[in-house]
Amino acid sequence: MSGTLVVNMVASGVMVAGFSAFLVFLFGRENSLIHKMGGMHSSMVKAALAVCASGALLNMLSFSEPPPSELVLNIGVAILFSWAAWFHWDRFVKGGPRRGGRGGRKRTPQR
């Protein structure tokens, strides 16, 4: 097993987790803004995230060695959606009631 294959499998696994978490954070909360959008918009987002998660899972399970450009793209997308899922969790799910979250850490005002 080559290093590129291992890196691609890890990046694909992180993408599956990031896409899935983002899907749950967007559609799993009743107070999410996505529910206020029209059916077409929310369906497009849901379908796009589901297809991306499925593609990343198939990419991980195929054990194929990608070209360097695809490997760089996979790493970038994995980092981007990991950050997006963390940000969404921190600001909207765990954030204070002002942000529509369920509570979480208290932020002290800056002087």
Kindly report, residue by residue over 78-109, the tens digit of the pLDDT: 999 999 888 888 887 776 555 454 544 555 56
For residue 25, the model assigns a pLDDT of 81
pLDDT of 104 reads: 47
Q: Which of 61, 26, 17 is nearest to 47 (CA)?
A: 26
Phi, psi of 34 (to 5 degrees): -65, -25
Q: What's the one-letter identity of residue 101?
A: G
Mean pLDDT of 51-56: 92
Cα 45 to Cα 6, 49, 50, 51: the distances in Å are 30, 6, 9, 10
Token output for 81: 């959606």
More confident residue, 105 or 3: 3
What's the predicted TM-score (pTM) here? 0.74
